[in-house]
Amino acid sequence: MASSKIHSNIIFSQKVADELEKIVRQFPAGKVFLLTEETPKRLCLPLIETVIARYQIKQTSIAGGETNKSIRSVEQVWEFLSKNGADRKSLLINIGGGMLTDLGGFVASTFKRGMAFVNIPTTLLAQVDASLGGKTGINFNGLKNEIGVFNEPDAVIINTNFLKTIDHDNFLSGYAEMLKHGLIKDPAHWDELMSYDLGDIDYEGLEEIIAHSVAVKDWHVQNDLTEKNIRKALNFGHTVGHAFESYALHSGRPILHGFAVVYGMIVELYLSAKRCGFSQDQLSEISAWLLGVYGKFEIEKSDYEALYELMTHDKKNEGSRINFTLITKIGEVAINEDCPKELIFEALDYYAKL
């Protein structure tokens, strides 16, 4: 399993309560806190209820959904920690999807200038992407992840049994990030993902495939924590994908993050073919396969300007240029690629006509 190559703070275990207890008992009594959201509270906390009871862990929850990834939710959790005597020697356990682990990590990183935190991701997207790598934050002024800091969790505990609690679309949303990991770094991982049976999910067997995906993300993070260089490879599909995601939300047709990334990857694969020599045949094959699995978010020519404007707000941009990560071939990337507006519109056109 690829976990041997993975940073020591990422723990794969079918015994999540045992792993959590090893961490919790290192902290003073009454200094361990838990943050969750409504669905994991109901479906996932039962797996760790023995630890919660034994160590009298105080808990709070926030409403789920991207609209609650806000400063208001952060204030709510800061207030909970303050009222219950949290300090710099405390631990915050974040259990939930990517929105929750992002927000909880930000809360822990800023309360009293920083306390320890552990992520227990309960969705596939969080297990392979959001809970790893030290990106924490919240949405602000309608822009995704606009406020945040880089700060790695003390541990991330990954248990595939939690994935039985999510619906198929949310599973596919996480799978999109795994596909991205294969495309940017690991052709063998790409091949195993393409041949995996999405109609009959083997949760125990999935642990090894998730470990392969996590190893890709972890390699990029450990080599470039604050995204100055090679970590930018992880942004493949996201410059356009975040624009799709924000635009879909603004236009009352919200889509899940992974679906937006898939549509972004199709557009950016077209740019890769035009700028970096990515195979036209593979562009056609991959586009068809992705649309077959993920469907399509319909756009018109009249939407291009708004999508382009959203791309200009991307945090990875430098000056006035939109900064893309593109692919030369499966497993190899070209970072900091600058594409003119006309070519971006041409790529949106390619996607729109599929």
104-108, 167-171, 224-228: segment of lowest average pLDDT: 224-228
* Protein fold of 170-353: Dehydroquinate synthase-like, alpha domain (1.20.1090)
Q: Pick one of 1.10.340.70, 3.40.50.1970, 3.30.420.10, 2.40.30.20 as the CATH number of 2-167.
A: 3.40.50.1970
Q: What's the mean pLDDT in 305-315?
A: 90
Helix residue ranges, H only, 55-186: 71-83, 98-110, 124-125, 168-185
pLDDT at 8: 64
Answer yes or no: is pLDDT of 260 > 50.
Answer: yes
Exposure pattern of 94-132 as b/e (b: 16+ CB <10 Å)?
bbbbbbbbbbbbbbbbbbeeebbbbbbbbbbbbbbbbbb
Task: Say which DSSP state 132 is in.
Answer: S
pLDDT at 2: 36
Which of 307, 354, 314 shows the shortest CA–CA distance to 338? 314
Q: What's the mean pLDDT in 298-326?
A: 88
Burial class (CB in 10 A: 0-12, 13-18, 19+), 58: middle
Note the pTM of the prediction, 2 decimals. Answer: 0.90
Confidence grade of residue 142 (pLDDT, cut at 50, 70, 90) = confident
Answer yes or no: is pLDDT of 224 > 90.
Answer: no
CA atoms in the 13 A half-sphere facing the CB of 207: 15
Residues of the chain with CATH 3.40.50.1970: 2-167
pLDDT at 316: 72
Residues of the chain with CATH 1.20.1090.10: 170-353
Confidence grade of residue 4 (pLDDT, cut at 50, 70, 90) = very low
